[in-house]
Amino acid sequence: MAKRMLSEAEGYDLLREYGVPTPGFEIVTSADAAAKAASAIGFPVVMKIISPQIVHKSDAGGVVVGISGAAEAKKAFTQIVESAIEYNPEAEIKGVIIEEMAKPGLELILGGKTDPAFGKVITFGMGGTLVELMKDVTLRILPISREEIRTMVREINAYPLIAGYRGMKPRDEDALIEIIAGVATFFEENPQVTEFDINPMRLYESGACAVDARVIVD
């Protein structure tokens, strides 16, 4: 089968089975349905484009955060779809995902890739817009123990932001370790998955929440 990208919703559904917390969501295909679904989820919500051809949704104008009312949700639907079509007229638009808006947290990246020599590898590092610049990531070949995961987490330069830096409260490192163990199992148990990333995963003083998921299957 050809390589293909699952939708964010499909990614969330798969990852949730392995203990990854995700926002509640609904998928809609009209502006009226968007207003209705957003009201049912409860404001504020985030709305994003669903298209297999659009990998970086923000680049396509395909993400609107902080939507606080039904009329705004209706407008956002039209805006998101129009931006996406303008960005890539060839893109197949499957709809729009409406999600609970997660509170701010420390943004981390969890990922997996298949190395031609080593096989399945998981990566962990700082998220956010400066990631590519900082290259603050670490990786391990699967399988991996909880102990090894803890070592991995403590390896990144930004670890003090997790442990608690200059009077900032520590983040939920144990929850993070459980989530990494979960995604490692997810990756091992699904041979058709060749690559994935959760970018970002928000880590809190208690718990965490994935707010994006990209899963590639072959």
Q: How far is the CB of 25 from ligand ADP (least distance, A)?
A: 8
Choose between 149 and 200: whose C-beta lies nearer to ligand ADP. 200
46 binds ligand ADP (CB under 6 A): yes
C-alpha–C-alpha distance, residues 167 and 30, integer Å = 47
74 binds ligand ADP (CB under 6 A): no
Choose between 13 and 148: whose C-beta lies nearer to ligand ADP. 13
| Residues near ligand ADP (CB under 6 A), total | 15
What stretch of H or E contains 153? helix 146-155
Give the Å distances, CA to CA, from 70 to 22, 28, 148, 196: 23, 14, 47, 33
- Tokens (6 digits) for 138: 């670490």
Candidate residues 199, 208, 210, 216; the one interacting with Mg ion per rule CB under 5 A? 199
Binding to ligand ADP, residues 172-201 (CB under 6 A): 199-200
49 binds ligand ADP (CB under 6 A): no
Choose between 8 and 172: whose C-beta lies nearer to ligand ADP. 8
- Tokens (6 digits) for 86: 């303008």
211 binds ligand ADP (CB under 6 A): yes
Range list of H helices, the chain? 8-16, 31-41, 70-87, 131-134, 146-155, 159-163, 173-189
- Which residue is closest to Mg ion by CB? 212
Q: How far is the CB of 117 from Mg ion (least distance, A)?
A: 28
64 binds ligand ADP (CB under 6 A): no
Which region, judged by CB under 6 A, interacts with ligand ADP, from 34-42, 51-59, 177-185, 189-197?
51-59
C-alpha–C-alpha distance, residues 20 and 22, integer Å = 6
Coil/strand/helix, residue 195:
strand
154 binds ligand ADP (CB under 6 A): no
146 binds ligand ADP (CB under 6 A): no
Nearest to 179 by CA among 155, 159, 151, 150: 150
Which DSSP category does 158 fall into? Answer: T
Residue in the block written with tokens 């917390």: 21
197 binds Mg ion (CB under 5 A): no
Most distant pair of Cα atoms in the chain: their distance? 52
Which residues are near ligand ADP by CB under 6 A?
23, 46, 48, 56-58, 63, 65, 99, 101-102, 199-200, 211-212
